[in-house]
Structure formats: structure tokens, C-alpha cells
Structure 1
Amino acid sequence: MTDGHSAPMADAPAAAAVADNAAAPVPADVRSHAVHHHDTAPSHEKEQGSSVGRLTPRPTFLEHLANSRDSQFKLDRRDSSELDRYFHGPRNMDKHSKWPVFMRMHGSVMPKMILPLVFVAAWSTLITLISKHVHSLGINNILLTVLGFVVGLALSFRSSTAYERWADGRKYWSQLIQTSRNLSRTIWINTGEREGEEGKDDLLRKLSAMNLILAFAVALKHKLRFEPDIAYEDLAGLAGHLDTFARDAHDRTVVNPRAKSIWKSVGEYLGVSFAESNPRKLVKRSKKPVGHLPLEILNHLSAYIDSCVANGTLTSALHQGQAITMMATLNEVLTGTERVLDTPLPTAYCIAISQIAWIYILVLPFQLYTALEYITIPASIVAAYIILGLATIGSEIENPFGLDVNDLPLDSYCRQIAVEIDIISATPRPNVDDFMERADNLVLFPLSQMGYPDWKERSVEDIRGALRTKVVASPSASASDTSTIVENLRMKSSGSV
């Protein structure tokens, strides 16, 4: 089991400089791309006046960021072990295994079943030896049919409800990604920029607002993992400048917890319940109110939209309504994911299903001995693996927002949003005239290789006639034209034309 906390990371020299001289501007990350998480976090370029520089009134926060590099290095070194990553999460969406599915350990629940299977082996061996050398304990195997039906029904219910929660979590994060794309496009394309210095302010505010969209996704990820602080490596640079409860409640012990003992780590890895910590312990131990960071970020985004309407940069009523609707959608995603997290399978069902499964497994050797004798031992182990494996999978995916291999890769989703926001903001708003009225805009491709200016010289009747001809054009001619266009593009890119 991996550690459930993201270690913080920031530019240590910059943070130290701020701690020494709070009035001086310091270099730091313009935006933290550390959302690439641990082993994928690139080195950042530095720029004047970052959000971390505005945290100077709170030196404890900056001291933590300055002192975090050593712990981050240790974490990176741990995650860089391929053997370590093979046996447990988090899952890397960019890699795949060529091993047959039945031979894979990455994502398997086998480690958590070692101790239960050992117990079943010992139990079935004991029953078999007593029956063989002392007194036969075999009973009629009619119970196999009766109890087997009940166990199958219970496991089916457990698996279906757990997978439904997993699927709901994925749907909400898909909706979050879609809404982030739409809102980012509305801000970047449909929000205007004024002339002069006001235009520069508009540009920087648009970038800041798009950062808040990413900050919402990252803050939601941490909230779903019961990580209440703001000084995480992928969040501090995005929302550290906001006046929020999470910032006021910052505690370095939250983002830099004590190392686990070897016994606790092994116990968690093997699924020992006594070794597992309460996932909400960080929230409960907070000495100050942690607030609701995703909701507070939405408040700041709403204030930005209102400012755009007030200064005349977002004048279209349609786009204004779309922006407000999309922020309502983000709030819907927030509420939906909280519903998935806070509404697990009722405890009575969990206890009953677990008891039913274990009763069946413990009674199984008594029913098998008469027919199988010593074969009862491996037969009981195989049956226990099947039954307990399905129950364990249901328990693992019931909360899809954690750090297990089979949980949703929330870090990858946040990274995807960050990359797409960078793509949207990489170029200015497109000018329609620039990309429409070009000679290489082949408006009737693949029927014709003539560009927009050539067809503009033709009559409307000619254009409509060509459109009709395009419907009945032979596929072979289209394929030929396509290959010609591809070759022309290849020649242009190589500089031959």
C-alpha cells in the first residue's frame, strides 16, 4: 500500500529568500506542473512574482516548502523502483504489461490474500488429519449446493455495487474534464482583451482563472483522499495565493508525515485491518477548520466571471450564461463525487457478506473430506481464493478515489487537464480571416485541390454544383486526390516546395 499523501515540492532557494526578506519579490514557479506527480515531475522555469511569493505573511508555510526537498527526493527514489511499483500502485496509465493476465501481480489482490489463504490451508489440513487419523468429521455435501447459492448471490451483490461506485466516479471525472475544457475555451477565446496595460491585465487574469480551473481539479483530488492541506506539490502554486481555510489551517506534519514502521507497512500491504489507518485522520486531527477548498475555488472563479462582465470583456449574454452553467456543473461534479465517497455499502451488508463467505469456507473441508480425503486441502485453498478474491476486489474498488492500483488514476486526469489548458493558452485567439481565406484551405477536398481564394472567384451556382458532384465522385478519384494532398504537405514540411 502506498502512502496516502502527496509530498510537497517547491523551489527551496526561492522559499528561503522569501523567509529572509518578506518584502522582496522572489523567483518561483509560474505554475506548478508537478501535477505530473513524483517520478514525472519536470524541472520548472522560474519567473518573477509567483503565488508562492505572496505567501510571505505566513512563514511557516514557506519554511515547510523550503525544507521539503529532501523528503521529496526520498519519495521519488522510492517510487523509481520498478519492482516496488510492480507489486502495488499507483497505476501508470502510460505503461502496459506484456505478461498474460493470469500471471500479472500489478493490480492483483493476491498480497492481501496471503494470510487468509495460509489460515484456510492450516484449517483444512487440521480437519483432514483429524478425519483421517482420529475420527471422520465428514458431512453430507448437500450444504455445498445450498450455501453455494447464498454465497454466489452475496458476492454478486457486493461486486455489482462496488463496480457501480467505481463507474460513477469515472463518469464524474469525465464530466469534470469536459467542463474544464469548455470553461477554459470560454475564458480564453470568448473573453476579450482591452488595449494597452488593461489588456495585459486581462491576459494575466485569464491565465490566473484557467489556473483556478486546474486548481479545482487538483483540490478535489486531495479532498477525495482526505488530504486537507494546501501545501501539496501540485496545489500550492495554483491556489496558495487564495485566502482560504485550508491555507489558514496549514500544518507541515500533514504534508510531511512521519515515516511508517516496517511492521505497519507490511501489515497494510498484506491487508491486515489492525495495521490500516483511518483515512480521515488528517481531517480529524486538524487544529483549525479546514474549510472546503474546491468550493472556495469556485467562489473565486465566479468572482472572476463577474469582473469580466463588469469591465466589458465578456459581453455576450450567451457566453455569460454558459460560463455560469459550467461552474454549476463543476459544483455538480463536486457533489456527485462526495456522494460516491460518503455513501459506501451499508455496514450491515458488509458484515453479513463477509460472515457468509467465511462460514462457507470454514465448513467446506467437512463437506469435501468424504469424497476427496487429502485432496480436500488444495481444494479448500482454491475455493477460498475464488470466494475471498471476489470479496476483496469489491472492498478495494468501493472507494475509487484512493491510491490503490485499481483506483481511478486521478493524478493522470489532473495532468490531462493541465496539458489541455496549456494547449488552449499556447496561442492567441484565432482570427477567422487568417485560417479561412488561405490558399491551402481546400474547401472541397477531396473532390478538388483548389483553395478558398480560387473558389471565391467562382459563382454560387458553381460551388453548389461542385458540392453535388462531390456526393457522386468515384472513391478511386478521392483516394488519388488524398494521396496527392498528403504528398504536397510532406514536401512543404520538408522545405522542398
Structure 2
Amino acid sequence: MVRKYGTTVHVSRRWPLMMRLKGTVIPQIWWQVLLTGVYSGAVFCISEYSGWKMGYTLNLVTVMGMVVSLLLVFRTNTAYDRYWEGRRLWSQMTLCIRNMTRAIWVCVGETETRDLLEKKSAINLLIAFAYSTKHYLREEYGYDYDDMVDLLTHLPKYSLPTSVQPMDWRMDIPPVSLDALSPTSAQFPQQQQQQASSSTGAPGTTYGEGGRARRQSKVEHALAFDYLTPTNIPVELSYYIGSYIKSCGAKGKVDASTLTLMNNNLVSMLDCLTGFERILRTPIPLAYSIHLHHATWIYIFALPFQLVATMGPLVVIATMLTAFTLLGILSAAYEIENPFNDDYNDLPLDDFCKVIQAEVASMVATRAPVPSDWIFSEDNYPLAQSDLSARELSALSLDQIHALMASPSPQDHPGRRSVQLQYSRSVRGNTPSANAYPASASSSALTKINSVNSSREK
């Protein structure tokens, strides 16, 4: 079941997993399980009423069961490897976006208003890269989607009105190859060929649902260069992001190490995109899939003949349960083979993109942190040997700080933080109290702190 665009699927938790229907493959295999029940029922009727006693041994069941099990395990592992690889690549891309956002917002210099606007615009392109990758993997070509159109309208190419574009037929292929792969072009009259080619297609093509070109050929040919992707927005965004990185280096707004970090993360983002394309456009070999289906159905069809003599009418239930198990595993493997769609068992790319956008928005909501603002705070107690804050410790000399650090640390106990705050307040009020210091502190550390406070009073 396909979920609504831009929403999150929450499967009801009121029922146990065994009683759930959403997210299962039952809607895809129920008619096949019912077909095996009718088939096994017919086998039972023939054995019961025709006088044909089917007392076969279980050798075929044992041998075929082992072979089918190995094939199904291999098929499931292959599908899950693709699923896990897609999740790993998306995590890698998320890491790169986080690093890029941190490098741009914190490390790029900011001296005027233009610098801030450039930084924010470049970070918006990082968010748009995640959203455009999601739509690109779902074969949703175009930029006018609600979640990313506002992030791209300022770019020159995407500032004009457009819509979701269909895949165009390549016009740079030599006519010889088209004629060789399209035997209908020689059979149809010239008038029919011109009608089939339409405005942008090549001779011998038709246009189905969605405007996608389909070759008129009795022989199926799958060529990677037959169709031209109308736009690859993630790749195009990488050019804009790369131009910003180059401008930062040319203006001297960032140091060399950060510039290298930003370029490396941009390369990693494109590497993740290429990995996504590898998963999306590398299906399981057709011969292997067909043979697996043949072996599974041969095993299911042979099962009633070997069980009917011992199980009687229960052979119908046994066959249906076996078909449900084997066909369910087979359908589940096909369900997760492409993890980039938007059904229940695919990766929640919508949620991943929203998480990235929320994290980035929270990072750039305030100005980049300045170390002096958070280090020299009254609530920062950097030394375990002292209950003085960093602001108070900054008034001491370097030798005094080293003397405090060389003293043994007091043992922590549940009331240590409250005692520390009490001691800090007494120091700020110029009323030092030795009783406020933790009782577990060593006498040497207490003596040094009291001497420091006495020197401050003088």
C-alpha cells in the first residue's frame, strides 16, 4: 500500500505483529495461496474418488525443499544487502551534510551582510540536495515539489515555471542502431512512423502513461542509454555548492584545512548519490529471478502428490501454509529490493529529509558560538580540584591554575554540585567559608584555595 506523499506511516500498535495486515505481503500473494489450495483440493479429490492412489515417497520433497530453501535464502540476503546499503549511504550523506553545515556556519568568515546571506543560501542548497536526491531516486523528475521548490527558485535554471518532466528519448543515437533494434520501423508505413514518433521521439516509439517513450519492438531490449534523464538536480546542485566553496577560498574567508574538508564532503555526497544509482539501476538478473520462481512453484505443485496419501484432506491446509511461507519470503525480497520508494517497507526518506532540515535549521537559528561566551561562564567549572567557575579562575595566574590542577581531586558524592554552588556564591560575596568545601577534599587542596582567596581579598 502506497502512503501519501510527505507523510509518515505509523502502523497501529494495538495488535500484535502476527495479526497485522499493513506492511505485509499478504495483499500480493493471497490469490496465489488460494490457487494452491484449489490445486491441492483437486489432487485430493482425484486421489480419493478416482481410484488413483498416490503413495509416493518424500524424496522429491526433501531434495527440492533444500534447493528452494538455499535459493530463497540467497535471494533474501541479496535484497536485504541492497536495503542496508541504501540506508548506509543515506547515513553517510547525512554525515556529509552535517559536516558541511558546521564548516560553513562556524568556520567561514563573516564580516558583512553579504557573507551571512551567502552562508545561509549555501546551507539551504545542502537541504535541497537531500530532498532532490529523494525525488530523484523515486524517479520524480522536476523541481516544483512542495518540500524543495522554495530552496531552488533563486537558482537561474529553476527560476522559470516548469512541471514534472517525462523522460526524453535520446536523439544522439545513430539511426542505424535504432533501425536495428526496432523492426517495426520497416513494417509500418511512413505515415504511421511519423505519427508514432510524435514531436520528441524517435522513429518506432510510442508514448504510454506519464509520457514515457516506449520502443515498438517485439524483442525486449534494455539499454542504459535509451532514455535520457531530463534533469539530475542533485548533481546540478553540487556545481552551485562547489562554486560557493571556491569563492570562499578565493576571498580568503576560510582556511586551507576547512576548504579541503568542505571539498571532501562534497565529493562524498556525490559518491553517495552514485551509490544510490547503483542500487536503483542494477536489478537482480532476470534469468535468476525466473528460475527461482520456477523452482518454487514446482516444489509447491509437487507437494500435494506426496502428502495426500498420509494427510488426506489436510493436504489442502498443508499446501496452503507451505505456499504462504515460500511465496511470502519471495515477495518480501522483491518488496525491499528497491528501498527508495514510498511504501511501508521502504526507507522513510521523507522522515530522513525532515530530520536533516530540522537539525540544520536548529544549527543556524542563532549566530555561530563564540568560545569566550560559553567557556568563561559562571556555570562552567573546568577544574575538578576547584569549585571556582571559569570566569573566576581566569583572574588567577597560570602558576596558580597549575597548582590547583596538581592537587588531588575530591571524591564525588551526590551533594557535591550543591556544595560547589554554595562555595562559589560565598567566594563571589567575599565571604569564603572552609566549611562549604566538600568534607572529602584533601587538606592541601583546601589550603591552596584559601590562599588564593586571601590573595584576591588583598
- Establish whether TM, by shorter chain, passes 0.5: yes
Pair 1:425-2:364 in alignment? yes
SS for the counterpart of 2:415 is helix
SS for the counterpart of 1:120 is helix
- Cα deviation, residue 400, structure 1: 0.7
**For residues 225 and 480 of structure 1, what CA distance do their matches in structure 2 show?**
56
- Cα deviation, residue 324, structure 1: 0.7
Match in the other structure for 1:124: 40
Pair 1:312-2:249 in alignment? no
Native 8 Å contact 2:375 2:390 kept in 1: yes
Native 8 Å contact 1:283 1:290 kept in 2: no
Pair 1:356-2:295 in alignment? yes
**For residues 486 and 365 of structure 1, what CA distance do their matches in structure 2 show?**
80
Match in the other structure for 2:313: 374
Distance 1:362 1:237, change over 3 A: same
Native 8 Å contact 1:179 1:330 kept in 2: yes
Native 8 Å contact 1:361 1:380 kept in 2: yes
Q: Which amino acid aligns with 1:416?
A: V
- Cα deviation, residue 100, structure 1: 2.1
**For residues 112 and 227 of structure 1, what CA distance do their matches in structure 2 show?**
25
Pair 1:211-2:131 in alignment? no
Matches within 5 A, 1:76-475: 91-92=9-10, 97-134=13-50, 135-194=52-111, 199-244=112-157, 250-251=162-163, 284=213, 290-314=230-254, 316-444=255-383, 448-458=386-396, 460=398, 463-464=401-402, 467=405, 473-475=410-412
Q: Which amino acid aligns with 1:139?
A: Y
Deviations 1:461-497 (A, max 9, x none): 66456556666x435x2x3325778999xxxxxxxxx
Q: Which amino acid aligns with 1:2?
A: V
- Higher gyration radius (CA): 2
Deviations 1:390-415 (A, max 9, x none): 11111100101011211100001110
Match in the other structure for 2:186: none
Corresponding residue pairs, total: 371
Deviations 1:322-362 (A, max 9, x none): 11111001111111111111112211111111111111111
Q: Which amino acid aligns with 2:264?
A: T
**For residues 322 and 402 of structure 2, what CA distance do their matches in structure 1 show?**
71
Native 8 Å contact 2:387 2:421 kept in 1: no
Identity of aligned residues (%): 33
Match in the other structure for 1:480: 415
Higher mean alpha-carbon deviation, 111-120 vs 235-244, is at 235-244
Deviations 1:145-170 (A, max 9, x none): 10010011000000100000000000
TM-score calculated relative to the size of structure 1 = 0.68
Q: Which amino acid aligns with 1:219?
A: S
Distance 1:467 1:160, change over 3 A: farther
**For residues 328 and 353 of structure 1, what CA distance do their matches in structure 2 show?**
39
**For residues 283 and 237 of structure 1, what CA distance do their matches in structure 2 show?**
27
- Cα deviation, residue 109, structure 1: 1.4
Distance 1:279 1:171, change over 3 A: farther
Regions of 4+ moved over 4 Å: 246-249, 278-289, 457-471, 482-488
5+ residue gaps, structure 2, are: 167-206, 215-225, 424-458
Native 8 Å contact 1:219 1:294 kept in 2: yes
Q: Which amino acid aligns with 1:367?
A: Q
**For residues 340 and 356 of structure 2, what CA distance do their matches in structure 1 show?**
17
5+ residue gaps, structure 1, are: 7-36, 39-89, 255-277, 489-497
Native 8 Å contact 1:226 1:282 kept in 2: no
**For residues 280 and 171 of structure 1, what CA distance do their matches in structure 2 show?**
34
Native 8 Å contact 1:212 1:239 kept in 2: yes
Distance 1:102 1:306, change over 3 A: same
